Amino acid sequence: MSFKITDSVTWVGKRDWELRTFHGEEYSTHRGSTYNSYLVRDEKVALIDTVWSPYDEEFVENLKKEIDLNQIDYIIVNHGEVDHSGALPKLMQEIPDKPIYCTKNAVNSLKGQYHKDWNFNIVKTGDKLSLGSKELIFIEARMLHWPDTMFCYLTGDNILFSNDAFGQHYATEQVYNDLVDQCELYQEAIKYYANILTPFSSFVRDKINEVLSFNLPLNMICTSHGVIWRDNPAQIIEQYLKWADNYQENQITILYDSMWNNTRKMAEAIMAGIIAQDKEVVVKLFNVSRTDKNDIITEVFKSKGILVGSSTINNGILSSIAGILEEIRGLGFRNKKAAAFGSYGWSGQSVKMISEGLKAGGFEVVNEGLKLSWTPDEEALKKCEKFGSQFVNAFK
């Protein structure tokens, strides 16, 4: 169901209430998502982005109810990923000669995915497209989060169509940022940044500063996923600048997996040692095999330090720990400290392997780690508490 955002702009996207994973199985979407597409009417008409391919027929049929497709003059593709461009082939069957405006990298992306040589028009930062009384101004946004990404800005209405930037995987009928549950919105926004945009933080910072230097008035930010920012839209820009600057809170997160609960006992004792040493620090503990990995990554993003523990198995580490270390490595966190711990029966390689994984992920590993054999007794648990206390001291 479409709805008007302004007299000129209509939302024509899709709410996906059932979506539970994204990017294959890589990203959890507990609250679903939206695929936001926008129809801009002036003397000329522009369609900005489409929706994910499973909804292509529904999208085109609903768009026909909103407008005669032949009245669409321009199609804007801000990003070629299939959750944005998936309905484009179905739409182009109806209006095959309509010009598509996108970046050079987006042409490569769209041709590579759909194998069609549509009427592509390549744009770069500063290029303008007149709609009559208003213009679309294009701004390349490379690596936010693909090389082909761009924003476009609508003069008159003062709307930034930001594609993936400033978005959330969040299905809601409330539509606008001031109407939804603010705790839910913040949680989905920081999760989105932590899991998707963290590796590109330097690009985020530079691009935001570039856009701000244009001194464009801003009434709304219309994202590709989640809410439309209409109430103080600059608030999410300010938040992104904080998140892009090696973000951390006064939090320590403990991650572990355990075969027979010995590593769990270590983790809990380490947590007790941290709390005894610093009553102000927030400490969170997660069994990685029983916790959503994207929620874990969000907590790692918020943390100034993490401790990671695993039993030793087959001269290695448990698969859940190996997996989360690989997730962490790929995101390239900075300005965070870490240490490893674990229990073993016969060989005890896990602590060394975890430490190497943490270093590969950009963490400052503050010590050689702590490993204990078999089931920790009272004396061993005191060692764990001391290990936790010493970890806190690394921040002083």
The residues that bridge with 180 in the sheet, in sequence order, are none
Please give the positions annotated as active site: 23, 79, 81, 83, 145, 164, 192, 225
Residue with the two structure tokens 């600059």:
234
**Rounded-to-integer distance, Cα 83 and Cα 102, Å:** 16
CA dihedral angle for residue 381, residue 384, residue 386, residue 389, rounded to 10 degrees: -130
Q: Is 373 exposed, middle or buried (0-12, 13-18, 19+ CB in 10 A)?
A: middle
Buried b (16+ CB within 10 A) or exposed e, 134-163: bbbbbbbbbbbbbbbbbbbbbbbbebbbbb
DSSP for 351-373 reads HHHHHHHHHHTT-EE-SS-EEEE
CA dihedral angle for residue 115, residue 121, residue 122, residue 127, rounded to 10 degrees: -160
Q: Largest alpha-carbon pair distance within the chain? A: 79
**Rounded-to-integer distance, Cα 396 and Cα 393, Å:** 5
